[in-house]
Structure 1
Amino acid sequence: MSGNGSDNRDIRAAGEQHYSNSVWFRPPEEPARRTRKGAPPLSRDLLAEAAVKLLDREGAARFSMRALAAELGVSPMSAYWYVENKDQLIELALDRVFGEVEVPAAEDGPGPGWRHRATSLALGLRASMLRHPWAAPLYGSHLSIGPSAISVNASMTEIFASAGLDGTDLQMALGTVIQYVFGTALSESQWHQKFQQGEDENEFYRGILDGLAKSGKWPESVPVPPPDFDIRAHRDGMFAFGLGTILDGLEARAANASGPAATERPDRTSA
């Protein structure tokens, strides 16, 4: 028994050490320091802004502390006053992306309704991920617990609470929508990067369709897209359809939970 207890303490300690490495657990940042002549003082905010610009231009694979320092005209050691490593810079950059999302105000009386606000927030989050195609792939491997990320999550939680969800259902609703947004954004952002060199995405897609049709491999039961088919508009429509379907389910679940049958369901989490 004592061995298991020691093992558990070691596991907890390792977890605490891992999460304490987050930039958001660092002490308050050092006083702003000067960069090259005429440039604004170096700060955590300036690092985050520069990191986003560099990631947008070069991608995650070429991102480094040294590259960021060169971008700002400072020595690589200067950045270490504010962050310990590249991962902490990425955390700052990710929260900057979350900060681009317009968070709808909480309703205090009649308003556009929870579905409208949930849709607006999800669309805004997807748009921010697509503007920065490096963000969605990195979201799954870096903590997103900065102030902007927390603000987005708190807003979505408030929206679903106003729909009548609570407890585990409220947590699951938040996770379902957030993961849907990031899952689709991950796929889309990877696809978009394929066409950054100027190739027309619609022409590429139509070429694939033509090849399938001529080979006889296109399923007869599936309608052939028209010649003016727009793949990006199609993806927008698919996202809206999927999000609407999720919200339909959450709306029905909230209605069932508040109705007479709610007391007859001892375990709502298994549904």
Structure 2
Amino acid sequence: MTTAKDEDARRAPQPRQSVWLRQVPGQRRRTSAAGAGNLDRERIVTAAVQLLDSEGEAQFSMRRLAADLKVTPMSVYWYVNCKDDLLEFALDAVVGRIRLPGTSAGFDWQDDLLALAVAWRHTMIAHPWALGCYAKYVGIGPHSVRFSLRVQDILARSPIPEALRPTALSAVFRFMYGFTSLESLGTARGQAVGSGTDEPTAVRDFARGLTWLVTGMSTEMTIRP
């Protein structure tokens, strides 16, 4: 017998599952779709990133994207189920644009972590809408996983015990995300009143703050009995 509680639970909105946890369709083509031409998911994601860069997420819509691609909205939905799925694809595509630096000459884990973080910041500043997507979606796409594994490889060379590395990884990302999000907001406000951004100062402050954080981690591990 179905109770009122069961019925309420059935009607309650279900948590959205990441597109990366579902079976992602391949690069399908549908020549029968009106105006679709050589449309595929890669082309859609590339166009979505361009539109998000120029208009921001607030102005982004599937209808506007379809117009830019010169196809019908239904043609776009043949390759992506919904706007949220497309934003997840776009976020991972942007993470894939991060230029992962090579290992430093001295194999210094702090130098390597700083270089990787600076590269991440540079890409996020170029695509500020992606910062908002980080807050809404689980970053587990292939490029995001590659970036995370790179950070883990660097931390494996640090004095931080393996059991504490997830905490260290979380602390580093929270700094990167928090600093860059506030910087992006400040840049947007400055642009609204015709004020520019001092990029060298921003990079210096970002690097200095992260260095303080990482140095503190290293020092704690050194003095810990």
Check 1:117–1:66 CA distance in 2 against 1; reply closer, same or farther (3 A cut): same
2:110 aligned partner: 115
- Residue 206 of structure 2 is matched in structure 1 by 239
Matched residue of 2:140: which SS? coil
Structure-1 residue corresponding to 2:48: 51
**Alpha-carbon distance in 2 for matches of 1:200, 1:90:** 30
The equivalent position to 1:68 in structure 2, one of 65, 72, 80, is 65
For the 8 Å contact 2:156–2:162, the answer to whether it is kept is no
Determine if contact 1:104/1:155 at 8 Å carries over to the other structure: no
| Partner of residue 178 from structure 1, selected from 165, 173, 179 | 173
Taking the aligned partners of 2:131 and 2:40, their CA distance within structure 1 comes to: 25
Give the equivalent residue in structure 1 for 2:123.
128
User: Aligned partners of 2:45 and 2:128: how far apart in 1?
Assistant: 16
Structure 1: stretches of 5+ with no match in the other structure: 1-5, 203-230, 262-271
Alignment size in residue pairs: 216
Q: Which runs of 5+ in 2 are unaligned?
A: none
**1:45 partner amino acid:** E
Aligned residue in 2 for 1:137: 132
Following the alignment from structure 1 to structure 2, what is the Cα–Cα distance between the partners of residues 120 and 46?
Answer: 31
What is the rounded CA distance, in whole Å, between the counterparts of 1:152 and 1:26 in structure 2? 22
With over 3 angstroms needed to count, the CA separation of the structure-2 counterparts of 1:25 and 1:104, relative to structure 1, is farther
For the residues of structure 2 that align with 1:24 and 1:47, how far apart are their CA atoms?
20
1:194 aligns with 2:189: yes
Q: Deviations over 1:165-204 (max 9, x none)?
A: 23331001111111111111111112222344681337xx
- Which residue identity is paired with 2:88? E
**CA distance in 1 between partners of 2:138 and 2:40 (Å):** 21
2:78 to 70, 77, 81: 81
Q: TM-score, normalised by structure 2?
A: 0.83
CA contact (8 A) 1:50 1:72 kept: yes
Q: Check the 8 A contact 1:106/1:158 in 2, yes or no.
A: no
Relative to the length of structure 1, the TM-score reads 0.70
- Out of 142, 149, 156, the position equivalent to 1:154 is 149
1:98: how far off? 0.7
Shift of 1:130: 0.2
% same residue = 33
Q: Deviations over 1:239-265 (max 9, x none)?
A: 1111110110121233346xxx2xxxx
Shift of 1:21: 4.5
Query: Residue 170 and residue 25 in structure 1: after superposition, are their counterparts in 2 closer, same or farther (change >3 A)?
Result: same
Larger radius of gyration: 1
